[in-house]
């Protein structure tokens, strides 16, 4: 790597910005870590540095919430959603970018328009639709991971498509054309050329689709049953205090939040090498 030539920022500026941003992120995160080691009374009374240090909450969370089931469910549902929406998004975007046809611009605009639909508006109708699939078609959708997957896939799809549209536009078309003249079919072109070349964008689209499902509570709370609960829903349990009752289990909630964030950060660390690549290697000349 010719670091000196391609470096975007002078070193001092780079260091300052990095440190500032890390501080911005890590201060509240440090608060979460400290709170997870504190007592509930300590957190509720606004302590930053714990009065007492204990790892208790890290052992107790597993009985308070169905956290392990939740994490497994979330990983499965969100993982499949991420892959499916990235693939569907790529193929849709490929058509939308490379071919011109009637209604193309309307589709593109409509996809953005879909993002302006509030989730709170959709909750009840989606539930009615899914439950009538059970009544009229004999398909159990509510309470299964399938139902949740379908909902997330659909909500993630417009976004993934758009990410891929902007990326594919900047992608030179020489390779595809070469393949076309060689007689390759669209599927082959997609699989062998477009997808490998747009991995960074696919990873981004996948990450977003994954996180959309990972963070959703609204739909997951009505579309799941105890055994298909996602981590975000399982976490909700920590936020509750009985009306007029007692302290929410703050320290356990913070511990659980960290534990739920860990698999995503790990997955990201695994996938982030695909974020670099694409054209930087000079694949097209």
Partner 1 sequence: MTILQRRPQQQAVAEPHRRGVTRRQRPLWLLAPGGVLLVVVVAVPLGLAVWISLIDLDQYTLRRWVEAPFLGLGNYAESLDTALLHSIWVSVSFAVLATAITVPIGVAAALVTQNAYRGRAVVRAIFLIPYVLPSFVVATVWRTMLQPDGVVNAWLGGLGGLWLSGPRSYWALVLVEVWAAWPFIYLMALAALQSVESEVYEASAVDGATWWPKLTRVVLPYLRGPVLLACLLATLNHINNFTLPFVLFGAPAPEDVTVMPMLVYVTSFQSLRFGLSAAMAVVSMIIIAIPLFVYLRAVRLDVHEQEARR
Partner 2 sequence: MRSGRMRLALALAVVTGLVAAVAACGGGDGGSGGSGKTLNVLIGANTQYPQEQQAWQKSIAEQFKAQTGAQVKWETFASANDELTKIQTSVVAGSGPDVYAVGTTFTPTAYATKAFVTLGDQEWQKIGGKDKFIASTLGISGPDEQHRIGIPWVGRPFVMAYNTELLSAAGIQHPATTWDELTEQAKKLTNGDQHGLAVAYKDNYDPWKFIWGMSVQAGNPIVDGRTARLQDPVVRKAYETYFGWLTTDKVVDPAAVGWTNSQAIAAFAEGRTGYMALTSALAAKALDAGAVKGKWRFALLPTVPPGAAARPANGVEAASILSGDNLLIAGYSKAKELAFQFVKLITDQPAQLEIYRQLGQLPSNAAAAQSLQSDPNLKVVVEAQLKSKATPFSGAWADVQLALTNAVVQSIPELAKGSITGAQIDGRLADAQKSAQSALDRVK
Site for partner 1 in 159-218 (CB under 8 A): 159, 161-163, 166-167, 169-171, 175, 178-180, 182-186, 188, 190, 192-193, 196-197, 200-201, 203-204, 207-208, 211, 214-215, 217-218
Q: Quick one: which of 53, 55, 119, 241 contacts partner 1 (CB under 8 A)? A: 119
Q: What share of the chain is helix, strand, coil (3-state, %, to 5)?
A: 75, 0, 25
Q: Are 152 and 230 in contact (CB under 8 A)?
A: no
CA-to-CA distance for 110 and 125, rounded, in angstroms? 20
Establish if 119 lies at the interface with partner 2 (CB under 8 A): no
| Binding segment (CB under 8 A) for partner 1, from list 51-59, 60-68, 75-83, 157-165 | 157-165
Q: Quick one: which of 48, 52, 55, 68 contacts partner 1 (CB under 8 A)? A: 48
Establish if 190 lies at the interface with partner 2 (CB under 8 A): no
CA-to-CA distance for 84 and 259, rounded, in angstroms? 26
CA-to-CA distance for 224 and 90, rounded, in angstroms? 29
Closest CB to partner 1 among residues 83, 179 = 179
Strands (E) located in the chain: none
Q: Quick one: which of 32, 56, 64, 263 contacts partner 2 (CB under 8 A)? A: 64
Establish if 57 lies at the interface with partner 2 (CB under 8 A): no
The contact mask relative to partner 2 for 146-175 (x = CB under 8 A, - = no) is: x--x--------------------------
Q: Which does 135 bind (CB under 5 to 8 A by kind): partner 1, partner 2, none?
A: partner 2
Q: How many CB atoms lie within 10 A of CB 191?
A: 15
- Number of DSSP helices (H) and strands (E) in the chain, helices first: 15, 0
CA-to-CA distance for 261 and 239, rounded, in angstroms? 17
CA-to-CA distance for 167 and 92, rounded, in angstroms? 13
Backbone angles phi, psi at 143, to 5 degrees: 90, -10
Q: What is the largest CA-CA distance in the chain?
A: 73
To the nearest whole angstrom, how small is the minimum distance from the Cβ of residue 239 to partner 1? 6
Q: Please, which of residues 200-259 interact with partner 2 by CB under 8 A? A: 221-222, 225-228, 233, 236-249, 252
Q: Which does 68 bind (CB under 5 to 8 A by kind): partner 1, partner 2, none?
A: none
CA-to-CA distance for 285 and 175, rounded, in angstroms? 10
Half-sphere exposure of 206 (CA within 13 A, CB side): 23
Establish if 71 lies at the interface with partner 1 (CB under 8 A): no
Q: Are 39 and 54 in contact (CB under 8 A)?
A: yes
- Residues in a beta bridge with 143: 224
Establish if 68 lies at the interface with partner 2 (CB under 8 A): no
Q: Which does 57 bind (CB under 5 to 8 A by kind): partner 2, partner 1, none?
A: none
Establish if 92 lies at the interface with partner 1 (CB under 8 A): yes
**Would you give the DSSP letter of residue 52?**
S
Q: Quick one: which of 132, 170, 272, 280 contacts partner 2 (CB under 8 A)? A: 132
CA-to-CA distance for 67 and 25, rounded, in angstroms? 25
Could you list the residues that contact partner 2 (CB under 8 A)?
A: 39-41, 44-46, 60, 63-65, 76-77, 79-80, 83, 123-124, 127-128, 131-132, 134-135, 140, 142-146, 149, 196, 221-222, 225-228, 233, 236-249, 252
């Amino acid at each position: 790597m010719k670091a000196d030539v391609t470096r975007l920022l002078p070193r001092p500026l780079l260091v300052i910005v990095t440190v500032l941003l890390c501080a911005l992120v890590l201060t509240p995160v440090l608060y979460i870590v400290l709170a997870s080691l504190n007592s509930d009374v300590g957190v509720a009374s606004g302590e930053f540095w714990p009065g007492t240090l204990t790892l208790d909450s890290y052992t107790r969370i597993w009985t308070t919430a169905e956290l392990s089931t939740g994490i497994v469910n979330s990983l499965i549902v969100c993982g499949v959603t991420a892959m499916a929406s990235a693939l569907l998004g790529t193929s849709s975007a490929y058509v939308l970018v490379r071919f011109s046809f009637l209604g193309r611009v309307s589709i593109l605009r409509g996809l953005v328009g879909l993002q302006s639909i509030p989730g709170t508006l959709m909750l009840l109708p989606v539930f009615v639709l899914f439950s009538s699939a059970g009544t009229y078609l004999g398909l159990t959708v509510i309470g299964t991971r399938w139902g949740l997957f379908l909902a997330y896939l659909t909500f993630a799809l417009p976004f993934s498509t758009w990410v891929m549209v902007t990326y594919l536009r900047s992608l030179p078309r020489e390779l595809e054309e070469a393949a076309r003249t060689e007689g390759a079919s669209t599927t082959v072109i997609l699989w062998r050329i477009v997808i490998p070349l747009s991995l960074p964008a696919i990873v981004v689209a996948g990450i977003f689709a994954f996180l959309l499902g990972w963070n959703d509570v609204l739909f997951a709370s009505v579309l799941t049953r105890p055994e298909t609960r996602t981590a975000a829903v399982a976490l909700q349990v920590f936020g509750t205090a009985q009306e007029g009752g007692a302290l929410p289990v703050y320290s356990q909630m913070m511990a659980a939040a960290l534990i739920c964030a860990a698999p995503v950060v790990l997955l990201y660390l695994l996938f982030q090498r695909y974020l670099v690549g694409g054209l930087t290697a000079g694949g097209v000349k």
